[in-house]
Each structure stands twice: as C-alpha cells, then as structure tokens.
Chain A
Amino acid sequence: MDQDDIEMEIDGEDSLDIHVVTPGEVVTRDSAFMRGHGTYTEDETLVASLAGVVDRVNKLISIKPLRTRYNGEIGDVVVGRITEVAQKRWKVDMNARQDGVLLLSSVNLPGGVQRRKNESDELQMRTFFAEGDMLSAEVQAFFQDGAASLHTRSIKYGKLRNGSLVTVPSALIKRTKSHFVTLPCGVDVILGLNGYIWVAKHVPISPEQANQPDALYHNDNEPIADQEREIIARVSNTILALAKHNNFINDTMIVYAYEAGSSHRVKDILKPDISQEIVQTARAQFQEAQQH
C-alpha cells in the first residue's frame, strides 16, 4: 500500500475501513497528528510500534493491538490473584506488565473498624489475604514505574468466593457503568477490565452480615447446589465462546449468548460450530436491540 492510500484512509471520516499496521510501518507523514500509544515519531513521520488497528480520535493517533497486557486506568475495576505477601502490601497478579500493589492501608479492616493500621495488623496480613486468594479491587493510583496501586475500601470489593475465574483478552471487556452484574439466571459476574472475570453464585449480603468480623475475609464457600454449579459453568463457557470469536464482552452480550446457548449442553458450548452459532445469534440480537 503506498503512502497516499494510507493517508486517504485516515482522512476519510466516514470510511469504515480498518487500517492495520505492523511495527515500523509509517502511519502518516502529516505532522498535524499527535502521537498516542503504540506510535513514535521519527523525522516528523508517525511510525507504528505495534501490530494492530489504527485508532484516530480527532488529531490523536494510537494503535490498538488485539492481544496485549492490560494497561490500567485509575478507577478501573480489576479482578486479581494474590501472588505475594510483602511488607505492608500484597502483590497482585492482574495480567498487567507488573504485579499490582495492594497496600495494607488501602484495605478495610474486618468488621468495618475505622482506625490506622498498626504492627499487629501487619502481622496478621495473611489472615486477610493469603497467596492464591482471588480479589476484586479498584485501581487507585499509579507508581512512578507504572505499577498499579489498588484499593478495596468499599463493600463491593474484597475477597472472592463461591465461583470460578474466566480469563479473556483484556481488550474485549467493554467499559460500562457497572462491572458488578447479577444475571437473570441468578449468577454474579464481575467483569474485571484486566480480562479476568469472576463468575460466582449470587449471595445477597445484608448490612448486619457485612459488619460481622469475619464477613470480609473468611475462606469458606457457601453450599452450592449442583444446579447452580451447572449455571456457573454455563456462563463461564458462554464467556469463553464469546472471547474465542473475538466478540466484546459486557453484561447484555453475556445474557444474549447465554440465551442463545441455553438449548445446548454446557460442555457443547465450546465446540467450534456451536460456539460460532451462539455468538452469531447473540450478535444479531445485540444489533437488533441497538436499532430500537
């Protein structure tokens, strides 16, 4: 493709053509554009440093790769796993370039007690979160080196129980108003923007229960009936099917795909032809809903 074609595609406002570039490819020679993520400038020309799709917002050009590590933003809801208990902090695997950091000062104490954390809290850190525990959290800030600092200072966040983890490419998760959804089928889904999704049994928590000393950090699952387990597995497989076909994932899409696949057995959902059929039905339904 020569230079004129590329520029034409960028300038064409209404063209829906997707412009794919590879590292080292010149995106534009027009110095009016600003460089965004995945690009760099070399002698007044804008060059791609990633393989992906060119994304232009007004004058800002960035490259969106399909598969990459999670790049956090402040306020994102993430799901992660504790990898290490360190001095006054936990290290959290969140599919990012570096482990996230959860400071002892940014978690709630059991029973919702409000006070400064002291040495005795530091010694019992492992009773709050131990290695391998799953948690949901919010990105609070970034350190100098780009590591994310997390917090769980809300009743919404904290240790995850009663469910299973589904991992998808982080680019597929759509930013929505709420990432904590309860599906009509009675399953809680936490859509972590880092591509980790927690699918769990819906357990309503009353305010009195939330103030129990061990409500926040206990490690025991509720009894989960076989039928509930099947629904959790069904939702998990539905999400995986959506991810397999590179379809974006949000609550409505999961519901549509869940309904489309309800006639199939759980283990069949991931079979190539069935998953394709499910995703296509869900997509069609979504587009129809958009038009109304």
Chain B
Amino acid sequence: MSDRKRVTGPEKSVAPLLETGSVPAFIFNPDRRHDGRDVNHLRPVFMKSGVVRQANGSAYLEAGKLKVACAVYGPRQNQRTKISATKGSLGCDFKFSPFSGGRRRSYMKDEQEREYSLVLEQALSPAVRLDLIPKSTVDIFVQVLESDGSAACLAAAITCASLALADAGIEMLDAVAACSAGYFESTVCLDPTGEEEAHEGGSLVLSYMPSLNEVTHVIQSGETSTATTVKALELCVDACSQIHAVMQQSLIANV
C-alpha cells in the first residue's frame, strides 16, 4: 500500500515554460515612461471613503496597479495606561497582503512593514488633533492589496489613512496628502512604479498638508544633490495639492 501521507506527484512531469531572453532590459527614459506619463505626472488616482462597514472610518485608494485599503477604529479608550493622559495616540498598522506583488510575503510583519507603520504614525500625528482626545487611541489599519513601488505604497497609505480619518469624523488640522518621487541621476520622476523604482538612485516621500502649506513628514534615501532634492520637493508639493483635491471630492461625495 502506498504511503498516504506522501503526496505523490504525477507520473510524467513537465518542466515549466520559461520565457528566456525575450524580455528587453528596462531602461529608464525620462521622455517616455512605460505607462506613457511625463516625469512630473502622477498616475491617475481614484479614492473612495466609507468602504468598510464595521469600521468607524475607511477609505480605498487606487493608482494604476497600486491598491490600498485603510480602516480606522476609534477614538476608543486606550488599553495601556502608560500612555500620556493629556493627549490621545495613534496606533498604525501597515501590512502588505501576501499576494500584493512580486515575492509572496509572510503573514507576520516584516522589518519594512514595521518601519512603514512608524512612518505612517509620524506623518499623521501632526495633523490629527490629539489634544482633543485625551486617554484615547485611534487605530489605523492599512492593507496593501496590490503594490507597485514601495515608496508609492507608503505615500498612498498615508493619503488613504488621512482620508479614512476624515471619514471617521476625527478632528484634523488638515487632510494629509503624500507623494513619492524617484531620482534618476539629475532627473526627478514623480510617483515611480515598481519597475522604475528598481532602477532609481534614490527616493523621496513627502507628506504635506496643502491647505496649511505645512510638511508633516519627509523621508529620503539614496544619493542626491541639494538641487535635485529641492526640485523633487517642489514637484511633490504640487502633486500633493492635486491629490488633496481628489481627497476633498471623494469626501464631499460621501458626506
């Protein structure tokens, strides 16, 4: 009798068909990006708030292949008593779905997800009026359904979370919009896709409150010059204002 615990494969096995050599090497060309955009153009963004029923506030964001969902619970009594009693706190949780793209991710939070959770909290805290909700926490859960560029994911998560916070009726100084940029030597390319990101020399993610004209968070990595950074910041600020307009529209549509 055969071993029941062993999964026997088919008798005849066939090697998978691999495409070899036919894929052209990716070359970044500032005049013609793969999706036909200009270097200073964002992917078209779609946002919708109020998508998760049981959450106090929620939002969904889609830009090209990038898909992010966010749910906000609270403000509710914080369970840990150690936290400052005069201010509220934000609890952020950023997670890539296992199937979100490229290599399959684990269910456990990895280093990158933990870092992004922290960035999310840092980017949103200045905007939320935590002084009005002492002893309470607001829990923000961001789930990336499909990723296309990790910096773009982070930016989308910040935007989406801010929209969900507004949907939850949590007081904020302003809605936070975020945008990413990639450096290709001296060229700055807005909202790089995953393909472009693999070839960039550095990246920048800016979180910005357009109505107040204030930056809440900047994160930059890679090698760059001052002039390039300044250019990237200016581009991002403009792009954030565009994103903010979309956020406003989707909020008004849902109120």
Interface residues of A (CB under 8 A from B): 20, 22-26, 38, 40, 42, 47, 49-53, 65-69, 91, 97-99, 145-147
Report B-chain residues with C-beta under 8 Å of the C-beta of A47.
173-174, 211
Q: Given that A24-B210, A67-B57, A98-B77 are contacting pairs, would A50 and B252 also be in contact in the complex, using a CB cutoff of 8 Å?
A: no
B30 at the interface (CB under 8 A from A): no
B175 and A22 within 8 A (CB): yes
Q: Which of B6-14, B130-138, B184-192 contacts A (4 or more CB under 8 A)?
A: B130-138
1/0 contact string of B152-178 vs chain A (CB within 8 Å): 000000000000001111111111000
Smallest CB-CB separation from B253: which chain A residue?
A: A20
1/0 contact string of B12-50 vs chain A (CB within 8 Å): 000000000000000000000000000000000000001
B166 and A23 within 8 A (CB): yes
A50 and B166 within 8 A (CB): yes
B172 and A24 within 8 A (CB): yes
Smallest CB-CB separation from B136: which chain A residue?
A: A97
What's the least CB distance linking B207 to chain A, in Å? 13
Q: Given that A51-B169, A145-B85 are contacting pairs, would A24 and B135 also be in contact in the complex, using a CB cutoff of 8 Å?
A: no
Report B-chain residues with C-beta under 8 Å of the C-beta of A66.
169, 255
What's the tally of chain B residues with a CB closer than 8 Å to chain A? 33
B169 and A65 within 8 A (CB): yes
What's the least CB distance linking B73 to chain A, in Å? 11
Report B-chain residues with C-beta under 8 Å of the C-beta of A99.
77
Q: Given that A23-B173, A67-B56, A67-B168 are contacting pairs, would A51 and B76 also be in contact in the complex, using a CB cutoff of 8 Å?
A: no
B75 at the interface (CB under 8 A from A): yes
Please give 11 more A-B residue pairs, beta carbons under 8 A apart, in addition to A23-B172, A97-B75: A22-B166, A23-B127, A23-B171, A24-B174, A40-B173, A51-B166, A51-B255, A97-B77, A145-B85, A146-B134, A147-B135
B76 and A24 within 8 A (CB): no
Report A-chain residues with C-beta under 8 Å of the C-beta of B68.
none
24 contacts between A and B (CB under 8 A): A20-B255, A22-B248, A22-B251, A22-B252, A23-B127, A23-B166, A23-B171, A23-B211, A24-B172, A24-B173, A24-B174, A24-B175, A24-B212, A47-B173, A47-B174, A50-B169, A51-B255, A66-B255, A67-B50, A68-B169, A69-B56, A97-B74, A97-B75, A98-B77
Interface residue from A42, A49, A67 paired with B171 (Cβ < 8 Å): A49
Q: Given that A40-B173, A49-B173, A51-B255 are contacting pairs, would A24 and B211 also be in contact in the complex, using a CB cutoff of 8 Å?
A: yes
